[in-house]
A and B are shown apart, each in its own frame.
Chain A
Amino acid sequence: MERCKTSIKERGIVKKRISEEYGFRNCIRMLVKNRYLYCLLLPAVIYLIALDYRSMYGIQLAFKDFNARLGITSSPWIGFTHFKKMFSDSYFLYVLWNTIKISFGRIIFTFPFAIVIALAFNELRQRHLKKVLQTIYTFPHFLSWVIVSGVIVNFLGYMGPVNAVLDFFGVERHVFLGDKKMIVPILYITDIWKEAGWNSIIYMAAIAGIDDSLYEAADLDGASRWKKIWHITLPSIRGTILVMLTLKVGTVLNGGFDQIFNMSNMVVQKTIEILDTYIYRITFQQSPDFAYSTAVGLFKSGVGFLMVMCVNKLSKKLEGTGILE
């Protein structure tokens, strides 16, 4: 009780101080006093204004009938016409649903894999082997999807190693990347293959932070390996898992542009179309409608932002730490 009172008192004082500091005169004084800090910030601020916020000015196109001759500012307003068109377009709705499906598929199939790798890796005791394996696991993360899709085109190719093995066992060769049924699982598998090792590091760091005495106590009680994983390791990294999961859910509209864009082809293009590839295509097709694709982009970016914010709040409530600051 006593402590509570003083803290409220202190808070009052702090508030007073802040209001004093933000008076006009003090403002100027603060500006002058910190002028060198502003100098250090200046290039970054110029960048943000000249690129990111300057671009955001163009968002108004989503509510305008864009005319290249008139430019962004002078084109006439037309309200929500583009958005109405968007939601009456069955292909857009299909793409939206497809994006969500593919993203949730990633959460179900690829997300747990990093945790599994971290847990298995933690049981490994040979230090040298650990080091070598970690280098191998994390390496593909640093290659672009352009490179990785090149490697996959060869590996899953008609004459490639996988088909060679199938052929050896008398199974007919298969065009994996040109198969509408196979392509989505292939997206998940290659995603795991490229990123799971890197994503597991964050869990390994969390596992490394667990108090050893917990395991020692469990050993004394004769707990098995599985019991220790289930009752000590997993509960201890629950916070990390939840934060990563909420972040994934928050960015569900992304769907993985780089991967899909580079692994797509005429046959499977529609099967793995996501919002980002759709926006790209309608922007750079033969007769582009800039205003309409701005509207689709705004929908994606806006809803995505709201979701990240909500999920951040949720994560703060659940774990006390937000994914944002």
Chain B
Amino acid sequence: MKKRITLGDYVNGILLVLWGLLILYPFYNSVLVSFMTQEEFMRKPFALFVENPTLIAYKEIFSDSKFLYGYKNTLIILLIKLPISVLITSAAGYALSRKKFFLSKTINNLAVVTMYFSGGIVPLFLTIKSYGLMDNLFSVILIGLFSVYNMILVKSFFYTIPDSLEESAKVDGANDIRIFIQIYLPLAKPIIATVALFEAVNIWNEWYNAMLFLSKSKNWPLQLVLREIISNATAKVSDTVEIDEEIKETFALNVQMASVVVTMLPIMLVYPFVQKYFMKGLTIGAVKG
């Protein structure tokens, strides 16, 4: 029986579409502003298109080497951290998904505790300092190299694979590492993809640890470079209460928005195609192991 589309359906649909537009427009507006000249921006800030698009803002941010360094550092961190992290996390997830063995429960609990209890910033700061990693990209690479949350995702996935696979491989004389790499890892491709994507996004969005441990701007990842530009802008917000005129003098906004755009562009371009993997991760995580 096909249901009739009622008035309620239309109202509901329109509200949902409006909510979607409300999410999109601020991003769209940021992209527009990044291509605007000051003159055009002052004329019509609520724009749907740009009359005279200009690349001035983009030229300006790439004339400064900061953003190039930012890209470089983020890519270095991504290339080193991502594969190691996925490997460590999935290996641990596999091992803890096997039949109980001595200390397995303890290790699992010790890992889960770190999700909710930590030493805090000072002890972490002193730890990194004692390893001599201040102002070294490896501080950012090291922190979060093993993700307990992702480990739980992997573990929950392995629970769903029947044990008979492992048993028959054992009969053939394969050891646990071989079983993991040759049998279970290929089966786990979807969850590995999910975990890798979560991790990649985390790395791309990393700014906090970089802010704590990297003082030289040459070492900063992309987000921290952006943060400096934006926080200068938010700081100005408070000045404008007194001096409205000043904001008209400095047109930093298109440069700021260009910075936002170059930082979020990779995620924006990739996201629609990989969205389903993220959703999978969330629903697996919800089931719990």
Which A residues form the contact surface with B (CB < 8 A)? 22, 27, 30-31, 33-34, 36-41, 43-45, 47-48, 51-59, 61, 72, 117, 120-121, 123-126, 129, 132-140, 142-144, 146-147, 149-155, 157-161, 163-165, 168, 175, 177-178, 193, 197-198, 201-202, 205-206, 225, 240, 258, 262-268, 279-280, 283, 290, 293-294, 297-298, 300-302, 304-305, 308, 321, 324-325
Contacts and interface: CB of A to CB of B under 8 A. Distances in A.
B118 A55 contact: yes
Interface of B: 3, 5, 8-9, 12-13, 15-17, 19-20, 22-27, 29-30, 33, 41-42, 44-46, 87-89, 91-92, 94-96, 98, 101-102, 104, 107-108, 110-114, 116-127, 142-143, 145-146, 151-152, 175-177, 180, 201, 205, 207-208, 223, 226-227, 229-231, 233-235, 237-238, 240-241, 244, 247, 253, 256-257, 259-260, 263-264, 267-268, 271-272, 275, 278-279, 282-283, 286, 288-289
Given A52-B114, A164-B44, 14 more contacts: A43-B92, A58-B126, A142-B271, A143-B264, A147-B263, A150-B259, A154-B256, A155-B30, A161-B26, A178-B237, A178-B241, A205-B282, A301-B117, A305-B117
Contacts of A202: 282-283, 286
Contacts of A158: 237, 240, 244, 247
Contacts, number: 290
B98 A37 contact: yes
B279 A201 contact: yes
A165 B26 CA distance: 14
Contact of A301 (B112, B118, B201, B223): B118
Given A36-B176, A279-B121, A297-B122, A152 B26 contact: yes
Contacts of B227: 146, 262
A297 B120 contact: yes
Contacts of A147: 205, 223, 226, 260, 263-264
Contact of B116 (A175, A293, A308): A308
B256 A150 contact: yes
A202 B278 CA distance: 12
A314 B12 CA distance: 36
Contacts of A144: 205, 207, 223
Counting chain A CB atoms within 10 Å of each CB, the highest count among B23, B119, B122, B205 belongs to B122
Contacts of A58: 119, 122-124, 126-127
Among A34, A129, A206, chain B packs the most CB atoms within 10 A around the CB of A34
Contacts of B123: 55-59, 61, 294, 297
A55 B113 CA distance: 13
A51 B127 contact: yes
A181 B92 CA distance: 48
Contacts of B33: 154
Nearest to B124: A55
B259 to A, nearest CB: 7
Contact of B145 (A47, A146, A324): A47
A39 B178 CA distance: 12
A140 B23 contact: yes
Contact of B112 (A133, A165, A324): A324
Contacts of B272: 135
A151 B116 contact: no
Contacts of A164: 44-46
Contacts of B16: 117, 120-121, 124, 133
A27 B102 CA distance: 7
Contact of B253 (A157, A268, A290): A157
Contacts of A48: 110-111, 114, 146
Contacts of B42: 159
Contacts of B120: 55, 59, 279, 293-294, 297-298, 300-301
Interface centre among B96, B112, B113, B180 (most CB of A within 10 A): B113
B146 A123 contact: no
A36 B175 contact: yes
A266 B126 CA distance: 29
B23 A44 contact: no
A154 B117 contact: no
A197 B271 CA distance: 15
A56 to B, nearest CB: 5
B122 A283 contact: yes
Nearest to B25: A161
B256 to A, nearest CB: 6
Contacts of A178: 237-238, 240-241
A304 B116 contact: yes
Nearest to A143: B264
A103 B27 CA distance: 27
A75 to B, nearest CB: 11
Contacts of A45: 107
Q: Which of A41, A45, A302 has its CB near the most chain B CB atoms (within 10 A)?
A: A41
